[in-house]
Structure 1
Amino acid sequence: MIHSSAQRRPAPIRIAVTGANGGYGRTLLDQLRRLPDMVAAQLVDPDVDGVRRMLADLGMTGDDVVTATDAAEAAAAVDAGRTAVVADAAHVAWSHIDVLVEATGRIDAGFSYADTALDNGVHVVMVSKEVETIAGVALSAKARERGLRYLPGDGDQPANLMRLVDWVLTTGFDIVALGKSGEYDLVFDPETGIVNQNGVEKHAPALADLLGRGDDLRTTLADRAQAVSGLKRAAAADSCEMNVVSLYSGATADVETMHYPVVRPDELADVYSERADGGILGATGVIDVFSMLRLPGEASFAGGVFAIVRAGDDVTWEILRGKGHVVSRDGRYACIYWPYHFMGIETPLTIAAAVDDTAATPEPRQHTVLAARASADLAAGTPFRVEGHHHEISGVAPVIVAPDAGEVAPYYLLSGARLNRDLAAGELVHFADLDGVHEPAASAYLSGLALAI
């Protein structure tokens, strides 16, 4: 049997998970069962019954789980070695938590949980990228002031991509572009001419002649995009994640909606090269997302992450090309990639880093803003709500823009607010256009924006 060389902790890390009854929470809780040095101490979710059913599915039943109706009951459960399930922040025993994993995906609740955790001396692992885009800079600064750790959670693309970036930069490369694949592949069956994107099918026989990059890459990309038009390939979650990467890396968007080229993985180094070299980039040091095109049975990129670097010695990179690495046709660029993100399964890495102080603490800055641009004419009084699996807001499109003096409203601060004037299609939404903005999160955003870039 293979054993870890790591020393056991004298006491397990006590973890609280907010938004526990979600997919991310479940993957984390499943993994924690395998780690004797970590324990799911308190699980926070309004759907207490749903959390208990999930725990039962994972084999945690009977006296192992206690529904706590106040902080004292939650503390007693943790002291007894049990898992406390609580409905909201009022019932959390903060004194019995070492690390909070914030995974609600909601601005109001998520910001409050993270902020309160820091006030109570608890490290924060941030999974709610929506919160991060607004308050990440301020929460990170607050954590540093208190000698605590505030870290994006491994397992989601922002943290994974930043780990890859650290490796690439430490190795000595110059990064041209970095990004991820979209959540759902375009799976094309040449026999039927059907392309399938997560169960949504389109007849696209033209793709049969577009599986290779051809002699004119940009024409091939345009033809592929036309062949799959009508399929929803861009998602607010993608823009949100890339904005988070921007906060920590300083990378900006080449175009505000990102390119979303339809790409085979072995083409990435050619696609994300500069226009002068036949690629699509008008600038370098940028973030982007691509739609993966593959055949049935081929391995997926799995929402993984990539970095495009400038190659060096021709002979070196021809040797690496021969070993299967992705190198551009002209040998000037190479793609280094990790084709995975394992959600909560990886998050224990961040939890351990927060407690052990073993990783450099990143200091995010508001290098870009995830803003909202009206996708249609909107009337005064229009309400905004975050809805659906991808946490999108009807009537506006997410765009990644340069920061201003604080007039442009971040995309997710629209949640729960209303327009106070008519807004024409194409206009950015500003704070002055909104009533009912969540003030604590807005204040955190503006304070973070004031920090020097």
Structure 2
Amino acid sequence: MNLATLLAQRESDGNPIRVGMIGAGKFGTMFLAQAERQRGIHVVGICDLQPDTAKSNLDLVGWDKQRYSARSLDDAAKNGATHVGDDWEALVSHPAIDIIIECTGNPIAAVTHILGAFKQRKHVINVTVEADAFCGPGFGTKAREAGVIYSMAYGDQPALAADLVDWARACGFSVVAAGRGHKWLPHYRQSTPDTIWDFWGLTQEQAERGRLNPKMFNAFLDGSKPAIESAAIANCCGLDVPEEGLVFPPGSIDDVPTLARPRSEGGVLDNKGMVEVISCLREDGTQIEHDIRKGVWVCFEGDTDYLKNCFEEYKVVTDPSGRYMVNYKRWHLIGLELPISVASIGIRGEATGVATEFRGDVAAISKRDLKAGEMLDGEGGYTVSGGLRPAKKSVAGGYLPLGLAHNVKLVRNVAEGQPVTWEDVEADTTTDAYKLRKEVELSI
């Protein structure tokens, strides 16, 4: 609970945590806004395919031009400045850098970047959770083999949910369920980048002002991102996933203890120890008050009369039986909270969440009838969305992971609502992402 003090001490000692960042989009820019304020962290280098765009984003969040004008990584490391370039291999191999932050949002590229960083004995914070969803356990294994730390990104909902699960278990509670909130109605599954802003609740002007990517935000709305993040939570926390995908029950925060319990007791879970996502909209589309749309939660059990009595005595909200209770973090601040991961790794040597099992997987599910010859355009696009499935079921069925459904050609028709399989596509078997995924599948 003293990371801020320890970061300040690192700065005072002239020994800040030195990081390199790959990708300077929305998440990365939010982190850079905080890194400008947090002197215990030194961003030595930023790598982006479009360095001028990265520099524009630095201007947007108030960086002084002199600070990011270092001519080289060596110059940046020596003078406490930042170098902006487009050579990720130079970044991950530079000896002054302790931690690599991968936040490109491109899952296939992310795998290559992360494995490359491991080879250079660099710790990695992976913001591209799409990659974690289909090969997170592989990252954990490769990091241990390299003697480094691999971590999910604090500020994103999986790491925040994992933190709550850890809190509950460290207190001695039995975790019944954990997850995040979402704005969900069934027809959102067919949303495309053309329909996102009306559904999301922003104007085109607001989206452009924030430099928001419609495809990325559509991945949240169409169920892909909730599936991805739920898989990451399940694989990190050792929780199961629903057999046929997320249920998205509507409810307020106070409804969570009633919803997130087994069906045999009136809830929506197949069994105890699962992930789920709570919708902030009723079935008629009306808004639920005191929702958890932007946050995370953990439901835990008072499994003795004494614990139930404690819940009652301290007037906490439970399900009708008094047995189940929820704790939550109502808001997540995305990249603005990422310094917590940097400090946790750089000071304590601890990840803020890492996959240890392969329980949840995210299959590419067709949004409409797809024809042979079409190209899949990945999460948030026009062709497929992500469906959470038990990893055993996904691997046994040969389901194509959503993270590998980018720029892939169909060789067979796929009906609307059906999982796309490996046999339905011409997969690129030469990528690091494909190879690591196949290694992970062998663990099932």
- TM-score under structure 1 length normalisation: 0.80
Map 1:25-40 onto structure 2 (within 5 A): 25-40=28-43
2:296 equivalent among 297, 305, 326: 305
1:397 equivalent among 382, 385, 389: 385
Which residue does 2:376 correspond to in 1?
384
Q: Give CA deviations for 1:185-237 in whole Å, capped at 9, x if unaligned.
A: 9xxxxxxxxxx964279xxxxxxxxxxxxxxxxxxxxxxxxxxxxxx965211
Sort the Cα spacing of 1:293 and 1:31 in 2 relative to 1 into closer, same or farther, 3 A. Answer: same
Q: Does 1:236 align with 2:235?
A: no
Measure the CA separation in 1 of the matches of 2:246 and 2:200: 21
Measure the CA separation in 1 of the matches of 2:38 and 2:337: 12
Q: Does 1:342 align with 2:337?
A: no
Partner SS state of residue 399, structure 1: strand
Q: Does 1:47 align with 2:50?
A: yes
Sort the Cα spacing of 1:175 and 1:252 in 2 relative to 1 into closer, same or farther, 3 A. Answer: same
1:164, distance to aligned residue in structure 2 (A): 0.8
State the Cα RMSD in Å: 2.9
Map 1:184-263 onto structure 2 (within 5 A): 198-199=200-201, 234-263=222-251
Can you give the 5+ residue segments of structure 1 that lack an aligned partner in the other structure? 186-195, 202-231
1:91, distance to aligned residue in structure 2 (A): 5.0
Partner SS state of residue 158, structure 2: helix
Measure the CA separation in 2 of the matches of 1:356 and 1:200: 39
Sort the Cα spacing of 1:178 and 1:159 in 2 relative to 1 into closer, same or farther, 3 A. Answer: same
Which residue does 1:407 correspond to in 2?
398
Q: Give CA deviations for 1:346-398 in whole Å, capped at 9, x if unaligned.
A: 22221122233443784522212211233433211110113xxxx42433332
Counterpart AA for 1:13: I
Counterpart AA for 1:199: G
Sort the Cα spacing of 1:322 and 1:296 in 2 relative to 1 into closer, same or farther, 3 A. Answer: farther
1:157, distance to aligned residue in structure 2 (A): 0.7
1:238, distance to aligned residue in structure 2 (A): 0.6
Can you give the 5+ residue segments of structure 2 that lack an aligned partner in the other structure? 186-197, 204-219
Q: Give CA deviations for 1:402-428 in whole Å, capped at 9, x if unaligned.
A: 332583221110111111122233432
Counterpart AA for 2:234: S
1:258, distance to aligned residue in structure 2 (A): 0.7
- Asked if structure 2 preserves the Cα contact closer than 8 Å seen for 1:314 and 1:331, the reply is no
Comparing 8-17 with 295-304, greater Cα deviation is found at: 295-304
- Asked if structure 2 preserves the Cα contact closer than 8 Å seen for 1:309 and 1:334, the reply is yes
- Asked if structure 1 preserves the Cα contact closer than 8 Å seen for 2:280 and 2:287, the reply is no
Q: Give CA deviations for 1:88-120 in whole Å, capped at 9, x if unaligned.
A: 425536223211111111022211211111111
Measure the CA separation in 2 of the matches of 1:428 and 1:163: 32
Sort the Cα spacing of 1:90 and 1:157 in 2 relative to 1 into closer, same or farther, 3 A. Answer: same
Counterpart AA for 1:407: G
1:38, distance to aligned residue in structure 2 (A): 0.6
Which residue does 1:368 correspond to in 2?
360
- TM-score under structure 2 length normalisation: 0.82
Which residue does 1:15 correspond to in 2?
19
Partner SS state of residue 375, structure 2: coil
1:263, distance to aligned residue in structure 2 (A): 0.7
Partner SS state of residue 75, structure 1: helix
Sort the Cα spacing of 1:15 and 1:320 in 2 relative to 1 into closer, same or farther, 3 A. Answer: same
Which residue does 2:73 correspond to in 1?
74
- Asked if structure 2 preserves the Cα contact closer than 8 Å seen for 1:257 and 1:398, the reply is no
Calculate percent identity across the aligned residue pairs.
Answer: 25
Partner SS state of residue 369, structure 1: strand
Comparing 146-155 with 273-282, greater Cα deviation is found at: 273-282
- Asked if structure 2 preserves the Cα contact closer than 8 Å seen for 1:234 and 1:260, the reply is no
Which residue does 1:449 correspond to in 2?
441
Which residue does 1:354 correspond to in 2?
345
- Asked if structure 2 preserves the Cα contact closer than 8 Å seen for 1:309 and 1:333, the reply is yes
Partner SS state of residue 161, structure 2: helix
Comparing 366-375 with 402-411, greater Cα deviation is found at: 402-411
How many equivalent pairs are there?
402
Partner SS state of residue 392, structure 1: coil
Counterpart AA for 2:226: D
1:156, distance to aligned residue in structure 2 (A): 0.5
Comparing 163-172 with 364-373, greater Cα deviation is found at: 364-373
Which residue does 2:207 correspond to in 1?
none
Partner SS state of residue 337, structure 1: strand
Q: Does 1:89 align with 2:88?
A: yes
Counterpart AA for 1:248: C
Sort the Cα spacing of 1:4 and 1:430 in 2 relative to 1 into closer, same or farther, 3 A. Answer: closer
Sort the Cα spacing of 1:301 and 1:422 in 2 relative to 1 into closer, same or farther, 3 A. Answer: closer
Comparing 370-379 with 311-320, greater Cα deviation is found at: 311-320
Measure the CA separation in 1 of the matches of 2:114 and 2:3: 35
Sort the Cα spacing of 1:316 and 1:430 in 2 relative to 1 into closer, same or farther, 3 A. Answer: closer
Partner SS state of residue 397, structure 1: strand
- Asked if structure 2 preserves the Cα contact closer than 8 Å seen for 1:94 and 1:120, the reply is yes
Sort the Cα spacing of 1:431 and 1:233 in 2 relative to 1 into closer, same or farther, 3 A. Answer: closer
1:130, distance to aligned residue in structure 2 (A): 0.7
- Asked if structure 2 preserves the Cα contact closer than 8 Å seen for 1:137 and 1:445, the reply is no
Measure the CA separation in 1 of the matches of 2:126 and 2:361: 18
Measure the CA separation in 2 of the matches of 1:357 and 1:141: 20
Sort the Cα spacing of 1:76 and 1:308 in 2 relative to 1 into closer, same or farther, 3 A. Answer: same
- Asked if structure 2 preserves the Cα contact closer than 8 Å seen for 1:264 and 1:293, the reply is no
More helix by share: 2
Comparing 161-170 with 10-19, greater Cα deviation is found at: 10-19
Measure the CA separation in 2 of the matches of 1:37 and 1:364: 30
Counterpart AA for 2:389: V
Comparing 398-407 with 373-382, greater Cα deviation is found at: 398-407
